[in-house]
């Protein structure tokens, strides 16, 4: 559209940073003033563009209608732009210069309803630039004050301002109902459940997220990895080393074990702690080579090296029945008689063993040891690492067993638990080895399933 047209086509841009009531009254006031300007100047309205509850202070913040406004100008759909105030259009000096260039170079008429800026005049452009610079400085000063206040709050161990954490009020007080859900999420993962399994469990129990929507694995992971639930102060996503003034929802040991599992790369490579479809996959061991048992086609288990192939159903039924029978005994509470190892010590042992493996690799890369010594030392260090990781892994399943033992009927609670919880209990109490079946017969022989009891869980 030509700027020389007898009657200009005017776009109206309306914006408010925060509409607290949601009634849009401020937008309506802007609209009335802008239409008054258009009528007084004899223009015609081509289109309204409205961004509600979107700030213009942050250049990274996307304003959909502002973007449409820019695109429509590039397409020549209007040659006049009306807004209530210049800071409604932009608070960014660079964006303002783009509009000034449009006014000077392409004859775009930009006026504000409060009459303070008319970019079709030299005085209007000077005023606009000064006002934009002042507005930008105010934004930067405000940001600096907020940053300093947030840093101070973190140093004092006070809860951060902004969007509140599920389980807490903005002032740090516990919201009992939400806190119970958070504790349950930690307990499920600590007990061996996967992220997706927790989502399914909460959905089955009719528990939704705070916004009323279903949980998803990413939000579950966000809760599990948030140090504030262990009472640690955080500033800009990083721990300050200080304790917060709020009540922790989980213990330090539980948080460390949970996050060690989250960071464990084996969760991806061998599906440790991720969804399983079969009770014994990766849990049972081959009675011939000690290798892990995997699910095979036709509801069968198979050794990774092919030593044995066995039907799943009778084996799983036997294992579940044996565990349930043990849980029905009067001394079932003794299963937790042995105190769990401190998680901090277990984590330190894993870290030390991993450092040892890395140091050996560095010595080999630096030519300090030859290939033979590297192989021997690495094998030994990796064995130590595996042992340390095993001790750490033993800490997590205790939660699943504790939950089962706390039930009125532990055996029924175990049989009614999720697959991952059952696996955790079985792994805590026993080792299961599958031997070769009897040849030329389809009759299941229970003697070919060797169930060994770990310390504290004698048969």
Q: What rounded mean pLDDT belongs to the chain?
A: 82
At residue 316, does pLDDT exceed 90? yes
Residue 207 and residue 193 in contact, taking contact as beta carbons nearer than 8 Å: no
**Pick from 285, 216, 303, 263: nearest CA to 451:** 285
Please list, residue by residue across 269-290, b when 16 or more beta carbons sit within 10 angstroms of its beta carbon and e when fewer do.
eeebbeebebbbbbbbbbbeee
pLDDT tens, 237-290?
A: 778 778 888 999 998 878 887 887 787 655 554 444 555 678 888 889 999 988
- Residues with Cβ within 8 Å of 312's Cβ and at least 6 positions away in sequence, in order, are 278, 279, 280, 295, 299, 300, 301
Cα–Cα distance, 458 to 447 (Å, whole number): 18
For every residue of 70-102, DSSP letters joined together read: HHHHHTT--SEEEESSHHHH-S-HHHHHHHHHH
At residue 163, does pLDDT exceed 90? no
Confidence of residue 50 (pLDDT cuts 50, 70, 90): very high
**Dihedral sign from CA coordinates of 414, 416, 421, 427:** positive
At residue 303, does pLDDT exceed 60? yes
Backbone phi, then psi, for 348, in 5-degree steps? -60, -40
Local structure of 32: helix, strand or coil: helix
**Pick from 324, 293, 323: nearest CA to 308:** 293
Higher pLDDT, 52 or 59: 52
- Residues with Cβ within 8 Å of 247's Cβ and at least 6 positions away in sequence, in order, are 172, 174, 231
pTM over 0.75: no
pLDDT tens, 73-119?
A: 999 999 999 998 888 888 888 888 888 888 888 888 888 887 656 77
Higher pLDDT, 34 or 270: 34
Of 52-56, 293-297, 367-371, 453-457, the poorest mean pLDDT is in: 453-457
- The pLDDT score that the predictor gives to residue 220 is 94
Cβ neighbours of 139 (radius 10 Å): 17
- The pLDDT score that the predictor gives to residue 422 is 86
- The pLDDT score that the predictor gives to residue 134 is 80
Backbone phi, then psi, for 434, in 5-degree steps? -105, 120
Residue 311 and residue 442 in contact, taking contact as beta carbons nearer than 8 Å: no
The DSSP bridge partners found for residue 239 are 234
The DSSP bridge partners found for residue 283 are none
End-to-end Cα separation, the chain, in angstroms: 89
At residue 296, does pLDDT exceed 80? yes
- The pLDDT score that the predictor gives to residue 1 is 46
Cβ neighbours of 400 (radius 10 Å): 27
Mean pLDDT of 207-223: 91
Helix (H) or strand (E) holding 416: none
At residue 395, does pLDDT exceed 70? no
Beta strands 109-112 and 80-83, pairing class:
parallel
Of 68-72, 210-214, 270-274, 393-397, the poorest mean pLDDT is in: 270-274
Cβ neighbours of 109 (radius 10 Å): 19
Local structure of 392: helix, strand or coil: helix
């Amino acid at each position: 559209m030509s700027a020389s047209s007898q009657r200009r086509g005017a776009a109206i841009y309306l914006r408010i940073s925060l509409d607290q009531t949601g009634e849009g009254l401020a937008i309506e006031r802007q609209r009335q003033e802008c239409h008054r300007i258009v009528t007084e100047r004899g223009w015609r309205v081509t289109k309204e563009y409205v961004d509600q509850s979107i700030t213009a202070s942050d250049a990274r913040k996307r304003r959909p209608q502002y973007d449409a406004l820019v695109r429509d100008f590039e397409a020549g759909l209007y040659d006049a732009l009306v807004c209530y105030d210049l800071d409604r259009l932009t608070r960014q000096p660079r964006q303002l210069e783009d509009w000034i260039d449009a006014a000077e170079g392409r004859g775009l008429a930009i006026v504000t309803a409060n009459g303070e800026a008319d970019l079709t005049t030299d005085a209007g452009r000077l005023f606009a630039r000064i006002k934009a610079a002042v507005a930008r400085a105010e934004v930067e000063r405000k940001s600096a004050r907020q940053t300093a206040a947030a840093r101070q709050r973190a140093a004092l161990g006070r809860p951060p301002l902004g969007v509140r954490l599920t389980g807490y009020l903005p002032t740090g007080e516990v919201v009992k109902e939400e806190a119970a859900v958070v504790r349950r999420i930690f307990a499920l993962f600590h007990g061996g459940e996967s992220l997706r399994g927790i989502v399914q469990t909460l959905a089955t129990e009719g528990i939704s997220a705070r916004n009323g929507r279903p949980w998803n694995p990413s939000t579950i992971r966000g809760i599990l990895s948030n140090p504030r639930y262990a009472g640690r102060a955080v500033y800009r996503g990083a721990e300050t080393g200080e304790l917060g003034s709020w009540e922790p929802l989980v213990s330090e040991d539980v948080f460390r074990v949970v996050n060690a599992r989250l960071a464990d790369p084996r969760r991806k490579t061998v599906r440790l702690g991720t969804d399983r479809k079969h009770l014994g996959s990766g849990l049972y061991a081959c009675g011939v080579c000690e290798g892990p048992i995997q699910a095979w086609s036709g509801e069968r288990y198979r050794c990774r090296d092919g030593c044995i192939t066995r039907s799943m159903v009778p084996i799983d039924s036997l294992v579940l029945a044996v565990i349930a029978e043990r849980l029905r005994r009067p001394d079932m509470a003794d299963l937790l008689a042995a105190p769990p190892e401190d998680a901090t010590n277990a984590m330190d042992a894993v870290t030390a063993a991993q450092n040892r493996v890395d140091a050996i690799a560095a010595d080999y890369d630096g030519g300090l040891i030859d290939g033979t010594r590297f192989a021997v030392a690495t094998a030994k260090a990796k064995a130590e690492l595996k042992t340390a990781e095993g001790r750490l892994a033993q800490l997590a399943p205790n939660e699943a067993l504790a939950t089962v033992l706390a039930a009125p009927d532990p055996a029924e609670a175990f049989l009614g638990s999720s697959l991952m919880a059952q696996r955790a209990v079985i792994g805590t109490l026993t080792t299961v080895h599958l031997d070769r079946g009897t040849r030329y017969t389809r009759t299941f022989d229970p003697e070919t399933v060797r169930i060994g009891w770990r310390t504290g869980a004698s048969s």
